[in-house]
Structure 1
Amino acid sequence: MIHDIAMIPMIQTQADETQKRKWLQKALNYEIIGTYLQTELGHGTFIRGLETTAIYDPSTQEFIINSPTFSSMKWWPGCMGRSANCCILMAQLYSQGKKYGLHAFIVQLRRFDNHELLPGVTTGDIGPKLGVNSNDNGFCRFDNMRIPRENLLSKYSKIDPDGTYHPPISDKMVYAGMVLSRVNTVVWAAGHLSSGCTIAIRYSCVRRQTELLPGGEEPQIIDYQSQQLKLFPQLAAAYAFIFAAQNIHRRYDQIQSEVMVGDISSLQELHGLSAGMKAFSSLATNLGLEVLRLSCGGHGYSQASGFPRIYGGATALVTVEGEYSVLMLQTARYLVKCVAQAASGNILPHSIAYLTTEPESNCSAKSENDILDLEILVNAYRHRAHRLVNEAAEQLKACLLSGKPQHVSWNENHMVLIKAADAHCHYYTVMNFVQYLQSTEMSKPLRDVLTRLCQLYALYGIDNNAGDLLQDGYMSGEQISMVTNQVAALLVAIRPNAVALVDAFDIPDEMLGSILGRYDGNVYENLYKWAKESPLNQTEVHHSYDTYLKPLLHQSHMEAKL
């Protein structure tokens, strides 16, 4: 059993010390089972009648909670419709006739002694989903539910007994728990992709197909270049996302420490970074897992492969805590602000500082060996991000200057804004991979192996986005040909260490849940054993024979006699 991933972080980051003493240890000890609730109907618009409200009543010093019919718990591992007895509720706070925006509340949903719902609470399960059906994700409705004033998470904002409201130093403080969830999503995306790589690469060493010479031994399919092109770029991406996740977590901890002493200057950077990298890594993982599944042929379609379970979980990451396009647009909004700040001569955070200087106008690579230089690769991604971000900002500005309203201008530029945010996240991931290699102490053999992975990740990305670098003449057709040639060479160079690189993820068979990806390589014996254990194979003649097949066969036999 795992803790809800939202409730405990929200208590840790949003509760005052008194609330922590009351709730945190209970949550850690499973004395309470928590979940996270947020209105999903009319989400983001707060259409009248479709928002969850918490109206303060000073006569009783309580909040009155009401929500629309079928307001749902957010789709998220741990959002439990039938299991949870408490929740973190995001609701619009009203006091003294004024609306103060979204705030987080602790709400008890069920009695602790017999698990019955409290008066005014309705919950239920939302039914089967694409994946993770072991989680009872649910809906919830509140009808004049009352909670004590002290249940407003009050680390940053408070309300006095008489209803006087004390706002936080920034209205973004309430999203701290959500930001942590987005940071963690990069970790989970890397984990899902690592599992997929482990299965596909191990199986590709077991599977043999198509003799190269008549009468010769069939080669392992991992030795085919087309198979390596499916496997190794995903392996490189898994490592890139692991290192990115580590760095984002460190940055999150640093900024949280700053916030604790009242410094909120880096909150926007954290929001832009976490939103973009959550979207970028989750979509790349989702697409990468499908490539890895296909690399296993027909067996990849079987539940025995482990891919259906892993893919179902990874698919959720693309939409949970913000769908890909929505989050990329949030990052784009931050980038556009940074362009304006850079133009004014302001100092920008490290992750976005490239906007303050003009990048190189041409790639300096003269040979195929040059194109492997890590600095040259980082410069290419810096140039692409700088150009696309600035062009998106200019197009948006031109729309506004033409007299179009803000919302119209923004909508008409979604395409370029999303692409700019994606380029920024791609640059960040490559830059971080390179910095990890430069700053981390390791043996030379290990550095050589990881450097090849870093080169492959960067070059494969350039190959797939060559148009952006050819469009403004930064790279030539000859240089793109160098990139393609070196991708092929790196596939060969990575092949001897491919199995060791997935073994290094150290995912036990019990967690991997894949017959194809077994550590011992005994795939086919165990596939046969797994198939034999199917419920359909427990009797020699299945009961459906008497109900369906026997009458059909008997009728056909009689008609044949006639």
Structure 2
Amino acid sequence: MDKNNERECNEDLIRERRKCNFNIEELTNIVDGGKARTARRREIQRLLINDPEFLDEIPQDYMSHEDRYSNELRKSAHLMQKLADQESGHDIHQDIGALTGILKDGNPLMVHLSMFIPAILGQANSEQQEKWLGRSLRNEIIGTYAQTELGHGTFVRGLETRATYDPTVEEFVLHTPTITATKWWPGGLGKTCNYCVVMAQLYTQGRCYGPHPFIVQLRDEETHRSLPGITLGEIGPRLGLNSNDNGFLKFENHRIPRTNMLMKHSQVLKDGTYVKPLHNKLSYGTMMLVRVGIVGACSRSLQYAVTIATRYSAVRHQSEIVPGQPEPQILDYQTQQYKVIPQIASVFALIFSARSLSKIQSSVTAKLKDGNTDLLPELHSLSSGLKALSSSDASWGVEVCRLACGGHGYLASSNLPRTYTGTTCAITYEGENTVLLLQVARYLIKSYRSIGKETGASSVSYLADQTSLASSSSSFSNKALVQAFKLSALSLVAEAEARLQKLCDMGQEFYHAWNYCSVLLLKCAEAHTRYYICEKYEQTVDSLKASEGVKNVLQSLCRLYLIYHITLTHGDFLKCGALTPRNIAVLEGEMCDLLAVLRPQAVSIVDAFDIPDELLGSTLGCWDGNVYQRLYDEALKSPLNKTDVPDAYYKYLLPLMKSSL
């Protein structure tokens, strides 16, 4: 689609784009993280979009389960080869992350890139990296990461798979002792991968030292057959991403060399002596890295959904605002604006918080190389909280966008159902959100109780602040609104700690008191993480060097985000005194004003996400806005339309109609 050729576009979208009062390309650069990254993304997208190997002869929704896997594996392998052929100092992981949409139903090789290789980088010592890293980067071996089991997921300490050291032959014996110890869910495990990083309980010298990572060959490198003592398979259809071969794995006393234990942080010596790590969470580093990536991935999913919903809302005309007048664009309805525009604002919240988290992760990684683990608990807390809120926000946001498209949003060709199922899985994988938020709460309570005893990490330093915000003023700056989020979070943490302490003082064991307070603890973790997101949003926009038009749009989006989330949980702000009922009423009115201000810019803002039609894959969200013709053309692709009368009519319907029941 030639974006400069208005003659091919729907007239409504032409009018919407002419209302733009900011530089779209400048905003695109901000979304991408700079001009160079925009150029790189477009270069890669052009390379792949113009490649016929990525085209589907028939829509995937009409393929069998086996054909979907085979088709996506074909494209995944071709993608890896194309990127490898033209890499020149670029990060292949970042390139693939920018290609959301080219592989529409999952990527059987994604865990190889996102977890297996990072696990070797982060958990293997130099000798082990020399043995496996190069081969994995060259795709000579394809790996996955097996932690979750049939009976245990987020509770890593409860894993049952055993790795028992045998010093007589210097080998570990991997064994699956129960059905619940079966490794379950890893992407690529079923049929694709021939290697795996396995998290298993380490036993040596008669003692268990908890979960540790081991690299295990699963299949013969020539025949691809499962090795003796290893049972592999695929777990079957899921809610989404069914082109992935999510798998299961069982061990029957399978032996691996001692040196297959990844020993960067801890090790087992030849005689079985265990050498512990500097920090007991270092072996969870791969999971934390993935959680950092999930925040960025959720922002991309939401970009797709809001692009589709916003363009469709500008094209679709429905009902009447003024009786007897032409049907307006549904984006003119305030209720539609309330559905869509806050989700646009949420995209930028996720982008900016993801970048902040990535910087912290890079800093912690650098410090770990020097043996400094001081910031590891804060990274764990932040990555857990942001993973939880970004996945829940994005999942809900995508669903809101689907609902905003009415019945057509239910069609697979809208790409909203697939976007939703590909997003909502993040709520439960790599750490179930409720459990992660309770881990955040544990960190908050510990930090709150240490006030005055030690210096808190930067993300929790506010817990020592007792500033009052409540005011009779009817106007608050964005900074003042962020302060309201801070006080709300602080109040909830203080309330949770006081309730915990009261129960303990009454004689309850701490773990029982914790469970009794867990709903409140969940709220304080959510409030803390929301405050972090809001603070990074406001700080990023405030410090951004941008043209007036772009700055104004981002400031309005930021303010809308702040007010929107205040109105969703206004009771917490009232209860702690951060805001008064009058403040809330004024902010609710201002939110509606902001929707009206941003409405003329909505189409141009989503245009700045710069998602090509070939990747967006939506009949409703196409650049030219020719929605109805695309819906009709897509319907014609149904296999049922190959004949006027289907065979099933003669087999089942005709006999029923002639049976004279």
TM range (shorter): over 0.9
2:566 equivalent to 1:459: no
Q: Distance in 2 between matches of 1:58 and 1:408?
A: 42
Q: Distance in 2 between matches of 1:90 and 1:466?
A: 43
Indicate the structure whose relative CO is greater, using CA pairs within 8 Å and at least 6 residues apart.
Answer: 2
- Is contact 2:381–2:439 with CA below 8 Å preserved after alignment? yes
Counterpart code for 1:251: I
Which of 385, 410, 414 in structure 2 is aligned with 1:301?
A: 410
Three-state SS of the structure 2 residue aligned to 1:171 is coil
Q: Distance in 2 between matches of 1:429 and 1:465?
A: 15
2:609 equivalent to 1:505: yes
Q: Distance in 1 between matches of 2:482 and 2:294?
A: 25
Residue of structure 1 equivalent to 2:458: 350
2:185 equivalent to 1:75: yes
Instruction: Give the direction of change, closer, same or farther, for the CA distance of 1:459–1:140 in structure 2 (3 Å limit).
Output: same
Q: Distance in 2 between matches of 1:186 and 1:139?
A: 27
- Is contact 1:365–1:376 with CA below 8 Å preserved after alignment? no
Three-state SS of the structure 2 residue aligned to 1:35 is strand
Residue of structure 1 equivalent to 2:643: 539
2:388 equivalent to 1:284: no
Residue of structure 2 equivalent to 1:477: 581
Counterpart code for 1:366: S
Three-state SS of the structure 2 residue aligned to 1:540 is coil
2:449 equivalent to 1:366: no
Q: What pairs up with 1:110-129 in 2 under 5 angstroms?
A: 110-129=219-238
Three-state SS of the structure 2 residue aligned to 1:501 is helix
Q: What pairs up with 1:2-401 in 2 under 5 angstroms?
A: 2-4=109-111, 5-43=114-152, 44=155, 51-67=160-176, 68-69=178-179, 71-75=181-185, 78-344=187-453, 346-360=454-468, 362-364=469-471, 366-367=473-474, 370-371=475-476, 373-401=477-505
Q: How far apart are residue 517 of structure 1 and its match? A: 0.8
Q: How far apart are residue 257 of structure 1 and its match? A: 0.4
Three-state SS of the structure 1 residue aligned to 2:658 is helix
Instruction: Give the direction of change, closer, same or farther, for the CA distance of 1:476–1:3 in structure 2 (3 Å limit).
Output: closer
Q: How far apart are residue 72 of structure 1 and its match? A: 4.2
Counterpart code for 2:131: K
Deviations 1:327-374 (A, max 9, x none): 000000000011011142x221221111122121x333612xx23x11
Q: Distance in 2 between matches of 1:268 and 1:214?
A: 60
Counterpart code for 1:456: L
Q: How far apart are residue 274 of structure 1 and its match? A: 0.6
Shifted more, 212-221 versus 13-22: the winner is 212-221
Three-state SS of the structure 2 residue aligned to 1:555 is coil
- Is contact 2:544–2:551 with CA below 8 Å preserved after alignment? no
Note the residue ranges of structure 2 that are not aligned, 5 or more in a row: 1-75, 77-108
- Is contact 1:124–1:138 with CA below 8 Å preserved after alignment? yes
Three-state SS of the structure 2 residue aligned to 1:342 is coil
Three-state SS of the structure 1 residue aligned to 2:203 is strand
Q: How far apart are residue 213 of structure 1 and its match? A: 4.0
Shifted more, 212-221 versus 346-355: the winner is 212-221
Q: How far apart are residue 439 of structure 1 and its match? A: 2.4
- Is contact 2:184–2:249 with CA below 8 Å preserved after alignment? no
Instruction: Give the direction of change, closer, same or farther, for the CA distance of 1:358–1:410 in structure 2 (3 Å limit).
Output: same
Three-state SS of the structure 2 residue aligned to 1:131 is coil
Counterpart code for 1:386: L
Residue of structure 2 equivalent to 1:434: 538
- Is contact 1:81–1:123 with CA below 8 Å preserved after alignment? yes
Root mean square deviation, CA, Å: 1.5
Q: How far apart are residue 553 of structure 1 and its match? A: 2.3
Instruction: Give the direction of change, closer, same or farther, for the CA distance of 1:155–1:53 in structure 2 (3 Å limit).
Output: same
- Is contact 1:8–1:27 with CA below 8 Å preserved after alignment? yes
Q: How many residues align?
A: 549
Q: How far apart are residue 535 of structure 1 and its match? A: 0.6
Note the residue ranges of structure 1 that are not aligned, 5 or more in a row: none
Identity %, equivalent residues: 44
Q: How far apart are residue 476 of structure 1 and its match? A: 1.6
Instruction: Give the direction of change, closer, same or farther, for the CA distance of 1:327–1:58 in structure 2 (3 Å limit).
Output: same
- Is contact 2:150–2:183 with CA below 8 Å preserved after alignment? no
Instruction: Give the direction of change, closer, same or farther, for the CA distance of 1:489–1:46 in structure 2 (3 Å limit).
Output: closer
Deviations 1:392-422 (A, max 9, x none): 1111122122211122111101011000000
Residue of structure 1 equivalent to 2:70: none
Q: How far apart are residue 532 of structure 1 and its match? A: 1.0
- Is contact 1:186–1:241 with CA below 8 Å preserved after alignment? yes
Q: How far apart are residue 550 of structure 1 and its match? A: 1.4
Three-state SS of the structure 1 residue aligned to 2:130 is helix
Deviations 1:514-553 (A, max 9, x none): 1111111111101000001101111011111111121122
Residue of structure 1 equivalent to 2:105: none
Q: Distance in 2 between matches of 1:274 and 1:23?
A: 28
Counterpart code for 2:471: S
Deviations 1:236-289 (A, max 9, x none): 111100110011011100011011101100000000111111111111111121
Q: How far apart are residue 296 of structure 1 and its match? A: 0.2
Residue of structure 2 equivalent to 1:554: 658
Q: Distance in 2 between matches of 1:28 and 1:70?
A: 33
Q: Distance in 2 between matches of 1:30 and 1:516?
A: 38
2:527 equivalent to 1:418: no
- Is contact 1:72–1:138 with CA below 8 Å preserved after alignment? no
Q: How far apart are residue 70 of structure 1 and its match? A: 5.8
Residue of structure 1 equivalent to 2:511: 407
Counterpart code for 1:106: I
Shifted more, 448-457 versus 547-556: the winner is 547-556
Deviations 1:380-403 (A, max 9, x none): 101101100111111112212221
- Is contact 1:65–1:144 with CA below 8 Å preserved after alignment? yes
Three-state SS of the structure 2 residue aligned to 1:106 is strand
TM-score, length-normalised on structure 1?
Answer: 0.95
Q: Distance in 2 between matches of 1:45 and 1:152?
A: 17
Q: What pairs up with 1:476-495 in 2 under 5 angstroms?
A: 476-495=580-599
Deviations 1:109-152 (A, max 9, x none): 00000100001000111100011011111111001101111111
Q: Distance in 2 between matches of 1:406 and 1:466?
A: 31
Residue of structure 1 equivalent to 2:92: none
Q: Distance in 1 between matches of 2:248 and 2:184?
A: 8
Q: How far apart are residue 167 of structure 1 and its match? A: 0.8
Q: Distance in 2 between matches of 1:17 and 1:494?
A: 53
Counterpart code for 2:309: A
- Is contact 2:184–2:235 with CA below 8 Å preserved after alignment? no
Q: Distance in 2 between matches of 1:267 and 1:86?
A: 29
Three-state SS of the structure 2 residue aligned to 1:251 is helix
